[in-house]
Amino acid sequence: MRIQKLTKEVRGDILSSLLKRSPSSYGEYEARVNAIVEDVRDRGDAAVFEYTERFDGYKLTPENIEVTQDEIDEAYKQIDPKVLDVIRKALANIRAHHEKQLRNSWITPEADGTILGQKISPLRRVGIYVPGGKAAYPSSVLMCTTPAKVAGVDEIIMVTPPGKTGVINPGTLVAAKEAGVDRIFKVGGSQAIAAAAFGTDCVPKVDKIVGPGNIYVALAKKAVYGQVGIDSIAGPSEIMVLADDTANPRFVAADLLSQAEHDELASAILVTTSMDLANKVSEDVDGFVAVLERKEIIRKSLDNYGFILVAENMDDAIDTVNEIASEHLEIVTANPFETMTKVRNAGAIFLGSYSSEPLGDYFAGPNHVLPTNGTAKFFSPLGVDDFIKKSSIIYYSKEALEGISDDIQTFAKAEGLTAHANSIAVRFEK
């Protein structure tokens, strides 16, 4: 991996490079995706079936678009019992973590005749998108479905692309059943997002769509936002490791590659105050890449978006961490808990030598659907809050309103909205 001294210019160049990976930067795809979305809106299932046959090589019909119970039963027969056991253990951890996020409605009556509050309501129906191209992601099924179930969503619809024979990965189907998905449809890509957003004869319309996907899925979510809610417009995977000279270089190298193997656009960045660590990590990265299965993807990722940055001091290193706002941040310093207090921007924070990023991907419990491309500055991990909505509660008695009626009318008239003022005044006409 390339090693660079950290300067403001280097940091700026890296930020610019990383931001170019955002789905919003791929204008050449956007028109193509928007055309598919509009076609599905206009023609419904007919368009969905055509695009699925063209892109996935599978001929959909109204009879085979939805996964049957027999297919789910067959998936249980095929899955390795050890994998099923791990899915259930991970699901328990994920559920326990998200149950701590639950909110309650509240209401506060006052002696002056006012009652204010907030009503929490779960969404009625949500759509979960699960990728099915280069790899299968049962873990994403658990991460997307569990907070929705905990929130109390009435119905969870899953869409995922079929193989050329119409078969869905057994692990994906089993994870969906275990997590509580209600219905599963064999459709992926932009057409799946559009079908869930607008509804077709076969695919029910949802209120919100969540889950990771490729550039076509991300741009389709962007196109339907407003018609439905979305979690975010996710970009490629990212990891940043913040380390000092106490870090184990072999551990750090392995963790950087855990994200670089996702795809050619993934980024892996080490920020350290130790040139000795930087050199050792670079050597260990080369050694690992030579033997890992996805070495071609890893090499392209590291060539384009892999960096080892050596900072003058920890303050400069932390400033860079906050500026880049990575999806995953590992802190491997002498006192990682103290270092963490200075970090403002990161999707998920992993502390210490034995809290590697895959722990969060699969098992620990916090969600692995995270903000990317610097959006950790204003977005949060997927959670229960993504599957609820809040309504304000306002009650004033006649006496309570009368006491502040002149104030409201004054404010309304100051804005030139006399009908607003009149709405208060008519209640106290002599």
Name the DSSP letter for residue 387: G
As a whole number of angstroms, the distance between CA 78 and CA 379 comes to: 38
- Classify residue 118 as exposed, middle or buried by CB count within 10 Å of its CB (0-12, 13-18, 19+): middle
Identify each DSSP E strand in 104-255 by its residue range: 106-109, 114-122, 125-129, 155-160, 183-186, 208-210, 229-230, 238-243
DSSP annotation string for 176-211: HHHHT--EEEE--HHHHHHHHHH--SSSPP-SEEE-
Instruction: Count the Cβ atoms, other than its own, within 10 Å of residue 244.
Output: 18
User: Are 302 and 260 spatial neighbours (Cβ–Cβ below 8 Å)?
Assistant: yes
- Integer Rg of the chain from CA: 25
Residue among 328, 330, 357, 368 flagged as catalytic = 328
Backbone torsion region of residue 382, taken as left when φ is above 0, otherwise alpha when ψ lies between -120 and 50, otherwise beta: beta
As a whole number of angstroms, the distance between CA 366 and CA 140 comes to: 12
Active-site residue 327, yes or no? Answer: yes
Q: At 239, phi and psi to the nearest 5?
A: -140, 140
Q: Which two tokens stand for residue 200?
A: 């077709």
Place of tokens 């990771």: 212
Q: Which residues make Cβ contacts (< 8 Å) with residue 327, sequence separation at least 6?
A: 237, 238, 239, 346, 347, 348, 370, 371, 372, 376
Active-site residue 98, yes or no? Answer: no
Give, for 93, the enclosing helix (H) or strand (E): helix 81-99
Side-chain half-sphere of 262: how many Cα atoms within 13 Å? 23
Residue among 238, 261, 327, 330 flagged as catalytic = 327
As a whole number of angstroms, the distance between CA 380 and CA 232 comes to: 10
User: Are 210 and 369 spatial neighbours (Cβ–Cβ below 8 Å)?
Assistant: yes
User: Are 176 and 147 spatial neighbours (Cβ–Cβ below 8 Å)?
Assistant: no
User: Are 239 and 374 spatial neighbours (Cβ–Cβ below 8 Å)?
Assistant: no
Which of the residues are catalytic? 327-328
